[in-house]
Amino acid sequence: MSLLNFAELAVKTCQELGADETEAFIQNQQIVEVVLERAEIQNERFKTQSGIGIRVIKDKKLGFAFASKLSKESIEETCKEAISLAKVSVPNPEWVSLPSKERLPKTPEGIFDPEIANISGDKMLNLVINAYDAAKGYDKRVDIDDGKFSAILNEIAVANSHGVEAQEKTTRIEGYLVCVAKEHGETSSMAYEYDISTILKEFLPEKIGRSAAEKALSSLHPKTVESFTGKVILDSDPASFILFYPVISSVNADNVQRGRSLWAGKIGEKVAASKLTVFDDGLMPKGVGSLNFDFEGVPRQKTPIITRGKLEGFIHNSFTANKEGRKSTGNAYRESYNMLPMVAASNFVIKAGKKRLDELIAEVDKGIIVRRFSGNVRPESGEFSGIAKQASYIENGQIKHALGETMISGNAFQALKNIIDIGCEIRPTEIRAYTPPILVDNIHIISKQ
């Protein structure tokens, strides 16, 4: 039986058991993984995982049950559990309906690579060794601490009682290394580097190794500077977490509707510097979050979020869209089959600027560059504070020295308005935001001095 057959069986079973509406979501993953620990290859893993999540609605009451076993008997049992949970639940007056069947767009290009789907354990090890050798070969002072490389084949299927049925396969390869540099009894801060791609050919393990090594080395022999408020270049990763995690949270329609977004009622208003344009693109070729349908089976699309600093729109799943009588933007997402769909970005793309990172640095008279951020960001209020890691002090357009024991703090929503310039080197980050380096003004730079 195909995944879709199992999903259809679950829908049919629940409807026969008396559900008003049913949705089944199935996920099957095959993962080949290599783990580095204590500076060496520790282990290689083959993993398969699959499961089904069944959502039923009865008299506006919701029940959800899941199981990791895909068999006729297990699905029947899970259907019964979902229905019994719906019975003890309380009606949600805001419930309208599961999505109805729509024509799906073409499958985005470059989201499935048979070379990743069929990767051997040996090939995977070689990729890791390439990264490892690149880091070790970069400089003798560099040590690798840990890392992990994973090749993932992900197959999903979704069906519901309104005739939605969709099934697709995607692939992804990702890897990271953590390096430190050691010299004269001093250990640098931990430097992290990663790459992620849907296509094997475009995955660059050597680059991970070199860049992790370079970052570790450049954070040796740190100094502190007196606290000041001023310019900060946030590299892609910290820019994504500090600036765009609050943005994603604030344009999530669920947060908007629940009073958790400062941007509620602000569509059309200026929320950021004019240089900033942001969209959510679920159909982007080779996007790590791309697919022709979302995890409720609704067509994915490209949704404008911020255009030249002006707030354009929010992202919805079918529940939040129904509440407002509008169409879902195809942003239903589940971390796993055992979770209900929530609203999430697909590929959150920040439009690239023109300058390379070195050109951004050249623009700064006095400021710092932060390449890793170890801290907390409050998504509702936009407050952020934390340690600036792999950070350097910049004066007159030149990097002067590494910074140690230095924190940065500020407010993301203020910072969006204080964007001076946007870099051109875009990369996908952990929160699926395709982010370039960003130069921002008015950030607090804090040291003990």
Partner 1 sequence: MVVVEVLKKSLKKHPEGYVELRYHKRQTFNISVKDGKIDTLNSGAVEGACARVLINGSWGFASSTTLEKEKIDKMLKDAVSLAKSSKPKKKRVAKLASLKPHVDRYETPMKKDPGKAGKEELVSLVIDVDKAVRDFSKTIVSDTVTFNIVDDNLAFISSEGSEIHQRIVRCFGSVTVVAREKGNIASAYESIGEQSGLEVLEKTPLMNVGLTAAERASKLVSAKVAPAGYHQVILENRIVGLLAHEAVGHCAEADLVFGGSFLANKIGEKVASEKVTLVDDGVFPNGFGTMKYDDEGVPTQKTVIIEKGVCKSFLHSRETAQHFGVNPTGNARAWNFEFDPIIRMRNTYIEAGDYTLEELAEDIKEGFFLKGGLSGQADFNGEFMFGTQEAIRIKNGEFAESMRGVTISGNAFEVLKNVDAIGKDFIMRVGLCGKEQINYVGMGGASLRTKVLIGGAK
Contacting partner 1 within 180-199 (CB under 8 A):
180, 182, 187-190
Rounded to 10 degrees, the C-alpha dihedral 92/96/102/106 comes to -40
Please choose, from the candidates 279, 238, 281, the residue with its C-alpha nearest in 3D space to the C-alpha of residue 376: 238
CB 10 within 8 A of CB 54: yes
Q: Which of 66, 293, 333, 348 binds partner 1 (CB under 8 A)?
A: 66
Task: Kindly tell me which of 259 and 325 has the beta carbon lying closer to partner 1.
Answer: 259
**Cα 225 to chain centroid, rounded:** 33
**Beta pairing class for 186-187 and 407-411:** unpaired
CB 210 within 8 A of CB 135: yes
Q: Which of 238, 287, 386, 423 binds partner 1 (CB under 8 A)?
A: 386
Task: Kindly tell me which of 363 and 383 has the beta carbon lying closer to partner 1.
Answer: 383
Q: Residues 6 or more apart from 12 whose CB is under 8 A from it?
A: none
Specify the DSSP class assigned to residue 297: S
Please choose, from the candidates 156, 155, 198, the residue with its C-alpha nearest in 3D space to the C-alpha of residue 287: 198
Q: Which of 389, 391, 423, 433 binds partner 1 (CB under 8 A)?
A: 389
CB of 292 to partner 1, least distance (A): 27
Q: How far is CA 104 from CA 158, 168, 330, in A?
A: 13, 12, 11
Cα(430)–Cα(196) distance, integer angstroms: 9
CB of 31 to partner 1, least distance (A): 8
Q: Applying CB under 8 A, does 89 fall inside the site for partner 1?
A: yes
Task: Kindly tell me which of 91 and 268 has the beta carbon lying closer to partner 1.
Answer: 91
Q: Applying CB under 8 A, does 340 fall inside the site for partner 1?
A: yes
Q: Applying CB under 8 A, does 78 fall inside the site for partner 1?
A: yes
From the number of C-beta atoms within 10 Å of its C-beta (0-12, 13-18, 19+), residue 143 rates as: middle
CB of 177 to partner 1, least distance (A): 13
Q: Which of 5, 16, 18, 49 binds partner 1 (CB under 8 A)?
A: 49
Q: Which of 4, 85, 352, 399 binds partner 1 (CB under 8 A)?
A: 85
Binding to partner 1 (CB under 8 A): which residues in 222-281? 227, 229, 258-260, 262
CB 370 within 8 A of CB 240: no
Cα(368)–Cα(387) distance, integer angstroms: 13
Q: Which of 5, 47, 96, 285 binds partner 1 (CB under 8 A)?
A: 47
Task: Kindly tell me which of 48 and 396 has the beta carbon lying closer to partner 1.
Answer: 48
Binding to partner 1 (CB under 8 A): which residues in 115-134? 121-122, 125-126, 129
Q: Which of 118, 274, 376, 398 binds partner 1 (CB under 8 A)?
A: 376
Q: How far is CA 49 from CA 7, 12, 52, 188, in A?
A: 16, 24, 11, 38
Q: Applying CB under 8 A, does 41 fall inside the site for partner 1?
A: yes
CB of 302 to partner 1, least distance (A): 28
Residues in the chain: 449
Compose the 148-187 pattern: x for residues touching partner 1 by CB under 8 A, - for all others: x-------------------------------x-x----x
Q: Which of 13, 14, 22, 64 binds partner 1 (CB under 8 A)?
A: 64
Residues in contact with partner 1, counted by CB under 8 A, come to a total of: 79
